[in-house]
Every structure is written in C-alpha cells, then in structure tokens.
Amino acid sequence: MKVLGLDRDKTGRALYLDSLFASGKLFIAKDLPLVDGVSLEDELCSFSPTGSHRHDDRMDALAIACVMAESLAGGPNVEVSLRGF
C-alpha cells in the first residue's frame, strides 16, 4: 500500500506543487478568474517561506486537490493522509 501525505506546513505544500510543475504533471490554465485581484499564478509565484505572503489559500487547495487526484490515479492500494487538516 502506498500512502500519499500532505505536509503540515505551507513550504512543504509549495515544494510539492513546484515538483509537479517542474515534472510537467501540473499546468495552470490561462485566463483563470482573479480572486481579490490576484491571479493563481501570482499567488503561487509570490509565496515566501518567511510568511510574507498574503494570498495562499488557493495554493493549499491546489495541493490538496493534487494529492487527491494522485490517490485516484493510484487505484485502491493508495491511502491518503491529510496531516494537519
């Protein structure tokens, strides 16, 4: 059985998403709507581990969605652990 987990801290979630983008497994669609005047791309690119980021809720949601999608693709032998949520 394979267990997919999600980090408790935002830096770990940001690194997880970064690895998906770098490997070509995750893309951002063009022309997504702005939320509070901020695009998803800007939110992801402005993340800072020092905590100076103001917008990161969509980053968290995207990380959770990606873990869930990986678990579905992995079949019945994959367990998901959302530690810290």
- How confident is the model over 1-59, as pLDDT tens digits? 555 666 677 888 888 899 999 999 999 888 888 888 888 888 888 888 776 666 678 88
What is the spatial distance between Cα 62 and Cα 56, in angstroms, rounded to a whole number? 10
Is residue 17 within 8 Å of residue 26, measured between CB atoms?
A: yes
Question: Domain residue spans in the chain?
Answer: 2-81
| Tens digit of each residue's pLDDT (9 = 90 or more) over 16-31 | 899 999 999 999 888 8
What is the spatial distance between Cα 4 and Cα 37, in angstroms, rounded to a whole number? 33
Is residue 55 within 8 Å of residue 36, measured between CB atoms?
A: yes
What is the spatial distance between Cα 70 and Cα 75, in angstroms, rounded to a whole number? 9
Residue type, 5: G
